[in-house]
Structure 1
Amino acid sequence: MAGLILCLLIGAEVFLRLKGRALPADQRREIRARLSTWWVIAGLFLSALILSPGLFIAFFAFVSFLALKEYLSLIPTRRADRRVLFWAYLAIPVHYYWIASGWYGMFVIFIPVYMFLFLPFRMILAGETRGFLKAAGTLHWGLMLTVYALSHLPALMVMPLAQEGFSGAGLVLFIVFLVQFNDVAQYIWGKRFGRHRIVPAISPNKTWEGFLGGMATSLMLALGLAALLTPFSPVEAALIGIAASAVGFIGDVVVSALKRDLGVKDSGTLLPGHGGVLDRVDSLLFAAPLFYHYVRYMHGG
């Protein structure tokens, strides 16, 4: 699988060198920036995945930290809540510790229950009631989005599976490659055939043609990869390919709606050609939890 990713990146490099001169200069620079960033992302992701589950969990804890920091830099916060943010950031290593230790019960309730109860209590100790509801809601939603949802990917690494011969690493590769390639496929299909917009007020470039083309591509890709990386039957693989495409699309447009509300094009500038961390993981934020719980309930040991 790592070889396939490497081949795709090399193929993109060759294509850019052969056909890049025919593209407008601005578009060529954007594609070059995107591709260079993909090399870095793929290198870090695959290195952490291959070396050890613990390193991969730590890697995603850092990604969650960057995503939460990016989110909080976009959301206006009250001066009274600055000390509360410390506890939100502290929740990241605690939450990922539950994953690394294999404590499933605490992993699934720590942020949705305990942090949900603790953070507003800590807010009221500051004595500021103006904007309390908005502050509490946006902070908890940010934790759910950037930490809890995203953490379901590394949680696959420690999940016991009923079928022998498969691993959490294979499942992670399967869903990440499926969702990320679906984003690319939707973009290509939409550019080539897109005519009918789905949510023009939120994401004008999203079309039904791109959505359905990406879904068909994801279905075929899931069927091709499932036997190699997962314990899924062909029917399961097909359904997961369709579901991952649809749910990834929802995650994408939800984050787009957030950016529209805040009046920004990208969530950050950390990843040249892509924007910020949230811009790159938006599709995974909704797909990862659903995929994790499906695997756990249907194939968990």
Structure 2
Amino acid sequence: MSAQARMLWVFGGIVALLVVASVVGWLLHRRGGDGGGPTVRNLNARIRAWWGMVAVLAACFAIGPVATLVVFGVISFFALREFITLTPTRAGDHLPLVVAFYLLIPLQYWLIHAQWYGLFAIFIPVYAFLALPVLAVFGGDTTDFLERSTKVQWGVMVAIYCISHAPALMILRPGVEGQLLLLYLMLVVQISDVMQYVFGKLLGRRKLAPVVSPSKTVEGLVGGGSAAVGIGTALWWMTPFAPLQAAAMSTVIVIAGACGGLALSAVKRSLGAKDWGHMIEGHGGMMDRMDSVVFAAPVFFHFTRYWFPG
């Protein structure tokens, strides 16, 4: 089967699932009265958001890699804005923040476009991390300097460097093959999040991290993660992996994604916030939707590059 045909099959399956979900959501809305209650309203809001995200991703794939890079660059911009909005900054941080938003984001994504892997991989964790505190020095404010510099660096790390590894998957395989790798990552991550929520609601008893994320349960992680691995294995045909390899790679994605969700939930808790923002109806902010991708994307990228070089 050609790569184009596989892409059509995948998007056809996604649309079919969203149609079923939309019908179920509509029926629950009709039966429940008063919009079906907050749970049903939240479900329908999430379904509408998924329709929008799928439409944007399909349009990017149709236009080409540059469109995909631009969209992920915008995602990094809004994710970084949410992170910085929740983490207090001072006037002395303005110069490093301007550089982060208006120089580091376009440069990081340009390096992907140029397929300059050697610099893409080290640009932020080496050069940007060394430069940002130096820039803050010129702000002339030493109050909580280490804490403030660390916040900016961590925001740049998760919102720009880590997220950029998702579209960087396209440089590992030419054309549609690279797009399929990106789509595979996003599918397994989103399916894992959804199935962990479902299993947690149905079977959840033991809290996974009650202080950090009271809604997450051991049963949700095991059941939802296993379901996502099963689906990821069944989708081996859209990747360069054999079935057993797809099982291993989807397991890596699920574990890394779960770690990302917990780590960024801990950051939110420390800041006294429930969500990173309100940008996406039913999902919270951009970072709420990308928290699993933040950890999963770089791990999946480097595992794929090392074990399955193009």
TM-score range, shorter chain: over 0.9
Q: Is the 8 A contact 2:252 2:300 kept in 1?
A: no
CA distance in structure 2 between the partners assigned to 1:242 and 1:118 by the alignment? 36
Match in the other structure for 1:55:
67
Match in the other structure for 1:170:
180
Compared with structure 1, are the counterparts of its residues 160 and 242 closer, same or farther at alpha carbon in structure 2 (3 Å cutoff)? closer
Give the TM-score normalised by structure 2. 0.93
CA distance in structure 2 between the partners assigned to 1:238 and 1:128 by the alignment? 50
Q: Among 285, 294, 309, which residue is 1:285 paired with?
A: 294
Match in the other structure for 1:183:
193
CA distance in structure 2 between the partners assigned to 1:28 and 1:52 by the alignment? 36
Residue identity matched to 2:160: V
Distance apart, 1:36 and its partner CA? 1.4
| 1:164-190 deviations in Å (ceiling 9; x for gaps) | x97111111111101101100001011
Listed as ranges, the gaps of 5+ residues in structure 2 are: 1-9
Q: Among 182, 189, 193, which residue is 2:203 paired with?
A: 193
Distance apart, 1:230 and its partner CA? 0.7
| Aligned length in residues | 297
Q: Is the 8 A contact 1:186 1:213 kept in 2?
A: yes
Match in the other structure for 1:271:
280
Is 1:298 paired with 2:310?
no
Compared with structure 1, are the counterparts of its residues 160 and 15 closer, same or farther at alpha carbon in structure 2 (3 Å cutoff)? closer
Superposed, 1:67-82 pairs within 5 Å as 67-82=79-94
Q: Is the 8 A contact 1:222 1:238 kept in 2?
A: yes
Superposed, 1:19-98 pairs within 5 Å as 19-23=28-32, 24-89=36-101, 90-98=103-111
Secondary structure of the residue that 2:208 maps to in structure 1? coil
Is 1:137 paired with 2:150?
yes
| Higher mean C-alpha displacement, 104-113 vs 15-24 | 15-24
| 1:246-301 deviations in Å (ceiling 9; x for gaps) | 11111111111111011111100110111000000111110000100011111123
CA distance in structure 2 between the partners assigned to 1:284 and 1:276 by the alignment? 14
Residue identity matched to 1:278: M
Give the TM-score normalised by structure 1. 0.95
CA distance in structure 1 between the partners assigned to 2:242 and 2:305 by the alignment? 15
Is 1:224 paired with 2:234?
yes
Residue identity matched to 1:115: A
What percent of counterpart residues are identical? 40
Moved over 3 A (4+): 21-24
Is 1:127 paired with 2:137?
no
| Higher mean C-alpha displacement, 76-85 vs 191-200 | 76-85
CA distance in structure 1 between the partners assigned to 2:289 and 2:229 by the alignment? 21
Secondary structure of the residue that 2:216 maps to in structure 1? coil
Q: Among 225, 229, 236, which residue is 2:245 paired with?
A: 236
Distance apart, 1:215 and its partner CA? 1.8
Q: Is the 8 A contact 1:53 1:158 kept in 2?
A: no
CA distance in structure 1 between the partners assigned to 2:267 and 2:30 by the alignment? 36
Q: Is the 8 A contact 2:28 2:40 kept in 1?
A: no
The CA RMSD measured in Å over matched residues stands at 1.4
CA distance in structure 2 between the partners assigned to 1:190 and 1:199 by the alignment? 13
CA distance in structure 1 between the partners assigned to 2:278 and 2:225 by the alignment? 29
Match in the other structure for 2:12:
3
| 1:216-255 deviations in Å (ceiling 9; x for gaps) | 112211111012x111122211112222111111111111
Residue identity matched to 1:110: F
Match in the other structure for 1:110:
123
CA distance in structure 1 between the partners assigned to 2:138 and 2:27 by the alignment? 62
Q: Is the 8 A contact 1:174 1:226 kept in 2?
A: no
Q: Is the 8 A contact 1:190 1:209 kept in 2?
A: yes
Compared with structure 1, are the counterparts of its residues 181 and 236 closer, same or farther at alpha carbon in structure 2 (3 Å cutoff)? same
CA distance in structure 2 between the partners assigned to 1:126 and 1:25 by the alignment? 50
